[in-house]
Amino acid sequence: MVALESILKQVDERQDEMIDLLKTLISFETPAPPARNTKKAQDFIAAELEKFGFSIDQWDVYPNDPNVVGLLRGSERANYKSLIINGHVDVAEVAEDEQWEVDPFTPIVRDGVVIGRGAADMKGGLAGALFAIKLLSEAGVTLKGDLIFQSVIGEEVGEAGTLQCCKRGSTADFAVVVDTSDLHIQGQGGVITGWVTVKSKQTHHDATRKNMIHAGGNLYAASAIEKMMKLIQGLQELERHWAVTKSYPGFPPGANTINPAVIEGGRHAAFIADECRLWITVHFYPNETHEQVAKEIEEHLLKVAESDVWLRENPPSFQWGGTSMIEDRGEIFPSLEIDPENLGVQLLANKHQEVTGQQAIVDVSPTVTDGGWLGEAGIPTVIYGPGNLLNAHSVNEQVPIKQLIEYTKTLMLFVYEWTNERKETK
């Protein structure tokens, strides 16, 4: 512990190095969309990890968008606990008309903050984690358990680089997603997108509308757009029902929403609309799964359809999730429920209090991260990182240097103590 006290002091003494590291990460232009632009940043991170003794697994998830997983093998890895540090290297898109002080990828330091796209979400977290590892490595500190560093792509557009890490076999006894949490220790709800489609078996000329809506017309047909309106009303009713009947500690009432985000329908003005597609975004609670909420929506809308004479014969179809908002216009973010009694959660909370002098806040994020994929893989996981959501995705995005320093110290202590914790014997 004496050695660690000396290393902790270096975080303060060498904070300019940490800030320069963050500025370097920000300078890599990795907005998603358009994505397919992270290779240079990932090559840099891989090279840094190699300096610290990590073996590197790097592969393309999409062209020019590789994942990087570094493994630092513990000296007694069979008997001591392993840890994943996870973060995404892509950042939110930047619109041409946004009024930044300077170029978003030319970071500046002013008034105790670092400003640049990704400072809060989440290159600040990546920089602090890398710097903590750097200082431990330079001090010759040996970890007994494995340390795995996952730098992933695609989080901003639902491309789930973290899921690909899990599928590749990357696992550990605990994981920290170093995403934007304002140094709260967090779980999260989940998100799934879906397409609801109403489709007619037949097409009809615009001139036949009178035959399908007036007495004696004798044409059993309908506009798919108009029938979708009934289903939208049904979604609103289900959304209100959820707000009344479902809740979760830390979320305001009605946080579980069904958003009709995009509607597409019809061919052109000379046709009755024979197809209509509705793109919805569903937010659900940490104790729910995306399969569960998708099933609830399908069952409800099929009952709505049963009450309509035309929809009864032309029921809606459903397509859920997706691997990319860019590639297939869909995404899934599984929920993440954390156990405050978990030893990893308690140790991280203790280290946070030791560094900051403040009791750790254990709550839930109002947004989503890749953490749900790690939790779904059976890895106890928390979100813990610098920066806040008011700055994430914002113009002149920024992270406080003081918070970045506290985060780096906390993570350093946690990495050391967790990987020097014996595994439970069965």
| pLDDT number for residue 398 | 98
Look up 354 and say whether it is catalytic. no
| pLDDT number for residue 78 | 96
Tokens (6 digits) for 364: 């839930």
| pLDDT number for residue 213 | 83
Burial, 201: exposed, middle or buried (Cβ in 10 Å; 0-12, 13-18, 19+)? exposed
| pLDDT number for residue 215 | 78
With contact defined as beta carbons under 8 Å apart, do 157 and 120 qualify?
A: no
DSSP-derived pairing of the beta strands 113-115 and 185-188: unpaired
| pLDDT number for residue 296 | 98
| pLDDT number for residue 426 | 59
| pLDDT number for residue 217 | 76
List 48, 57, 65, 90, catalytic entry: 90
List 48, 57, 146, 155, catalytic entry: 155
The domains located in the chain, with CATH, are 2-187+336-419 (3.40.630.10), 190-320 (3.30.70.360)
| pLDDT number for residue 205 | 86
Look up 155 and say whether it is catalytic. yes
| pLDDT number for residue 52 | 97
Q: Which residues of the chain have pLDDT under 50?
A: 2
Tokens (6 digits) for 228: 């979708």
- The number of helix segments (H) and strand segments (E) in the chain equals 11, 16
Question: Can you tell me the distance from the alpha carbon of 49 to that of 52, in angstroms, rounded to the nearest whole number?
Answer: 5
